[in-house]
Amino acid sequence: MEVTEQSLDRAERLDARLGLFVTRTPDRALAQARAADTALVRARRAGTPTPPLLGVPCPVKDLTRVAGVPCSLGSAAFAGFVPDVDDGVVTLLREAGTVLLGTTTTPELGLPCYTEPAVAPPARTPWDERRGAGGSSGGAAATVAAGVSPLAHGSDGGGSIRIPASCCGVVGLKPTRGRVSPGPHGVDLGGLAVHGCLARSVADAAALLDVLARPWPGDATVLPAPGTTFLDASRRDPGRLRVGLLLDPVIAADVTVHPACREAAVATAALLADLGHDVVEVGPPFPAQRWEAFAAVWAALAAAAPVPPDREHLLRPLTAWLRERGRAASAVEYLAATAAIQEVSRQVALAWAHVDLVLSPTLADLPAPVGSLRDDDDPASDFAAQTRFTPWTSVWNLTGRPAVSLPLHWHEQDGLLLPVGVMLGAGFGSEEILLALAAELEQARPWRHRYVALASRLTDSAP
């Protein structure tokens, strides 16, 4: 109960300032915390195990349904929508004993890589409140970084967990396609998006993945379970690995990479070599124009969103533009795009077959100032700016492979230390090796002490 009360108090003091939540659920959280206390007492008396995350605060992203809690999908067009069912991941989180603090801020339909919705204040990175938290799991990442919760649920269709993880200085894990089921009520439409984890440590992200990685009847893809658990995997020696260092942007040719982002990846490569791994340079696995298949499917997904016809006018210009593009594509063009994605996946597998993992910067720039990427007057320019900001992340959505962003590096800007994420991606279904190497890097260059300083600064400046 005490942990939940502290989390709720911190959420109340920091929410409006950092844009953390669309809806907070304090009454539900306190009821769940009381139930967790009771369950803990009973388990100790009976000598029985407790649920794995009993009493741990863990909010849910506003794209995900929680029965009885408003779900706006980050859009004014869905204001007033209250689901009557829990999505599967919410059921799993509840069964694991987590405490729901509320639903975290996301941009409209989760489409942009910045979190500036019409239904809530923009999500800001706690390290510099003039800068955005990234998107689309921006509120979730900021909540974890700010010390409101140690874990948060997120989802990732083009980098939407890893982008805010980099901006907010936390761990962001996108699992393999099919690892976390969209069931029992959702479908794997397009195959790009997957539920995943935001946390302060690799072990915590692994523990959350253990909870979420449960299949539901009717899943199109069911992957083999880990040998033991993903948490165990994060505690193993990864052995000697061959890591590819990718510095050139993949999805856009006209990208200027901030020196700090490049240096973060280069320094991590040097650290990996010091740890005994073999590091070799690799190039982009396909020409930048081949990424257009992703853009085509992304537009189709936007067009498929069930927006009530009488509320279309409430959509943001970027969303409306994407929906128009999606509707303009024929069925044959959509099928060609999905076929191209499968072809790209094969290209990636062949190009990187000689390495176990690939290391790159997570982003091409430091966390972007709020409003600097968004361009309501020119949605095409807005979309292009997003691709330049995130020229590596969507490769792992195209291929379905797992990837993680780690807060290994920091850059001083305007007198403040900003997080600079680095990204590791592995082969399809290879979360265990990915987590093992990520945890080894965390142990070699720990970052937890930075949260202590940040928490103190936020507390001192809170109203």
* Token pair recorded at residue 318: 């970027």
Q: Are 61 and 197 in contact (CB under 8 A)?
A: no
CB of 357 closer than 8 Å to CB of 244: yes
61 part of the active site: yes
* Phi/psi at 128 (5° precision): -155, 100
CA distance between the termini of the chain: 24
- Measured CA to CA in angstroms, residue 462 lies from 197, 404, 454 at distances of 27, 31, 12
Note whether 180 and 211 are within 8 A (CB).
Answer: no
Active-site pick, 136, 137, 155, 234: 136
Distance of alpha carbon 149 from its chain centroid, rounded? 15
Kindly state the tokens that stand for 237: 């020696």
Handedness of CA 130, 58, 386, 257 (dihedral sign): positive
* Residue 72 is among the residues annotated as catalytic for this protein: no
Q: Residues near 404 by Cβ (< 8 Å), separated by ≥ 6?
A: 162, 171, 172, 173, 174, 202, 205, 423, 424, 425, 434, 435, 438
Rounded Cα distance, 221 and 40, in Å = 35
DSSP-based three-state secondary structure for 382: helix
> Which residue among 7, 72, 75, 160 is the active-site one?
160
Annotation says 405 is catalytic: no
Place of tokens 């100790």: 44
In single-letter form, the type of residue at position 30 comes to L
Residue 158 C-alpha from the chain's centroid: 9
Query: What tokens were used for 299?
Result: 């537009």
Q: Which amino acid is at 366?
A: L
Task: Say whether 426 sits in a helix, a strand or coil.
Answer: strand
Residues annotated catalytic, as ranges = 61, 136, 160
